[in-house]
Chain A
Amino acid sequence: MSTSQGDPVANTGTPGVTLELEGAAVRLGSRTLWSGVDLTLEAGRFMAVLGPNGVGKTTLIKAVLGLLPFSAGTVRVLGKPPGQENHRIGYLPQRRRFDPGLRIRGIDLVRLGEEGDRWGTPLPGARLFSARSRVREAHVRDVIDLVGASAYASRPIGQVSGGEQQRLLIAQALVRDPALLLLDEPLDGLDLPSQTSVTSLISTICREQRISVLMVAHDVNPLLPYLDSVAYVGEGHIVAGTPEEVITSDTLSRLYGTCIEVVHTADGRLAVLGQPQERASCHGSPYEPVAAIGGS
């Protein structure tokens, strides 16, 4: 690929890689949120974006969508600069709850995800006359089936529960057959059973449809069984890699400048414990893991 004499591959990034950041930085006003970020997300892989509030997790998603500019570095989203391939990206923004009085059905919202950017007006009975709209309609129903939302897709969106809304919104993001899903805190505000079922749904879609997923989340522990890689966002920097590489007391404590303990549970799982109160004990040996993590 270094032989770039009009080689188209040089312009489309590495094959099989959905998202590629090299030395990327984002500046909001005069403040650099983070810089020198290297991150790679391969096709069909599931990556979680983690970190405290206000460090720029949502900003990362928006920059990948091209809604905010990167101030430095090389970024390829589906082989192109950000913002050019958005029709192949499914996006689920942060914390959307629909007004209970909003008279739009879940299925309409899902359908808008597929056709909402086309000019024209939805006509009643279009399915009776157009084979193309019948095909589209079947696709919309398939996707709603896939996320298990068929039972309540015909109810007004404001009148279904938070977890049900989230499934419909995932269907909305999926309906355009994306190669990349950008999910901004899809588990926020959901009860524990819904969190687990939505996470396993996303993981299934990721593997079976070979869709890359970049998902912002608060708590890594319930996600760990499903993740291929993680990106921890800290003050000024992002560390990305496999959970084994990144989730070490060493790396996390250095990123956040506080003592973070990573423990290895008896059944071979990782658990991350933040303990800001015990900062002093960490200071004595800043790079020594509090608990070693073994292989998986």
Chain B
Amino acid sequence: MTNLLQTLTQMLAYPFMVNALEAGTIVAIVSGLIGWFMVLRRQSFAGHALAVVGFPGAAGATLLGVGAAYGYFTFCLAAALVIALLPRAGGSGRTDESAVTGTVQALALACGFLFVSLYHGFLNGIDALLFGSFVGISQGQVTALLVVGACVLVTLALIGRPLLFSSVDPEVAAAGNVPVRALSFVFLLLLGAAVAEASQITGTLLVFALLVAPAAIAQTVTSRPSVGLLLSPIIALIVTWGGLTLAYFWPYPIGFFVTSLAFGGYVAARVAAGLVRRRSKSAW
């Protein structure tokens, strides 16, 4: 026990580890909350599209010599704006929308790859952009994550209840004077910001480890919105801290640890839910 404490204190003696834990904490809370709404609204595909668009943004920003964080935020928020403004034919234009998004995704990945190869000094950076990294998170980056994260959370706290209403029951919400369209617009921007934040820890391709998995676990465990909204960021925090600690001790990428923990949690939650359901059925 004292041994474990000692190693943890040792880990926290490194400033880069402290930065990583701070960044991870901010990102986990934001992803857990926004992800809960994303899963409820069945907007995971939009979330994935935003993450992929963030990749050329980050690569381009590195190419230009500004921090990758700027690229993530700019591209993710711009892409969120574009998706939010796409005309939707009576709400049923989803197939068309997914075709457009898929095409743009391929282009985004290709552009990102081009930027990376144009930047010759950027040797293994592509791995970090796609699959995440926790070394080299600066104090400035943590501050940026904190400021954006705080804005996202304040906005979400203000619109939470009407957003929940318009997510599960848009027709009745609209008849009750809830601004359904405006809320879905604002939510996409929040999602863009959350995706940009998560990308900086897990990389473009693994954002779902923090955005989807904790929310999906929370929704498997509880169908109470208020409890789910509490549980989802807590699970994201456990997954992030666990992943960071494991990545500190083993020389494998953080994205792998975070994703494995999230996946393990999800499988465990589904199995447990299945067992509970079977038991309550056999009780009849």
Contacts and interface: CB of A to CB of B under 8 A. Distances in A.
Partners in one complex: yes
Interface of A: 65, 67, 86-87, 89, 91-93, 96, 98, 102-105, 108-109, 112-113, 115-126, 155-156, 172-173, 176
12 contacts: A67-B174, A93-B171, A98-B168, A103-B222, A104-B225, A112-B164, A117-B165, A117-B176, A120-B161, A122-B164, A124-B229, A172-B172
A104 B220 CA distance: 11
Interface stretch (B104-112, B152-160, B256-264): B152-160
A116 B177 CA distance: 10
Interface of B: 40, 156-162, 164-166, 168-169, 171-178, 219-220, 222-230
B81 to A, nearest CB: 23
B225 A91 contact: no
Contacts of A113: 172, 176
Given A96-B171, A103-B40, A112-B169, A119 B159 contact: yes
A167 B232 CA distance: 30
Contacts of A87: 176-177
B226 A126 contact: yes
7 nearest A-B residue pairs (beta carbon): A121-B160, A116-B165, A124-B226, A103-B219, A93-B171, A103-B223, A91-B175
A109 B223 CA distance: 11
Q: Which of A98, A112, A118 has the most CB of B within 10 A?
A: A112
A117 to B, nearest CB: 5
A115 B172 contact: no
A124 B230 CA distance: 8
A141 B194 CA distance: 36
A108 B177 contact: no
Nearest to A84: B177
Given A104-B223, A108-B225, A86 B156 contact: no
A123 B171 CA distance: 24
A130 to B, nearest CB: 13
Contacts of A92: 172
Contacts of B166: 116
B219 A121 contact: no
Given A91-B172, A93-B172, A124-B230, A116 B162 contact: yes
- Residue of B166, B223, B224, B230 with most chain A CB atoms under a 10 A cut-off: B223
A117 B177 contact: yes
A156 B221 CA distance: 12
A92 B165 CA distance: 14
A219 to B, nearest CB: 24
B139 to A, nearest CB: 31
B168 A86 contact: no
Contacts of A112: 161, 164-165, 168-169, 173
A103 B159 CA distance: 20
Contacts of B40: 102-104
A222 B161 CA distance: 39
A101 to B, nearest CB: 9
Nearest to B228: A103
A104 B165 CA distance: 11
Contacts of B220: 103
A118 B158 CA distance: 9
Contacts of A172: 169, 172
Contacts of A156: 223
Contacts of A120: 157-158, 160-161
Given A105-B224, A122-B164, 18 more contacts: A67-B175, A86-B176, A91-B172, A96-B169, A98-B168, A102-B40, A103-B40, A104-B168, A104-B225, A117-B176, A117-B177, A119-B161, A119-B162, A121-B157, A122-B226, A123-B226, A124-B230, A125-B226
Nearest to A106: B223
Nearest to B42: A99
A117 B226 contact: no
B112 to A, nearest CB: 33
A108 B224 contact: yes
A108 B176 CA distance: 16
Given A103-B219, A109-B168, A122-B164, A116 B225 contact: no
Contacts of B226: 122-126
Given A103-B40, A124-B226, A117 B175 contact: no
Contacts of A105: 223-224
A14 B58 CA distance: 65
A128 B178 CA distance: 28
A121 B168 contact: no
Nearest to A121: B160
Nearest to A61: B175
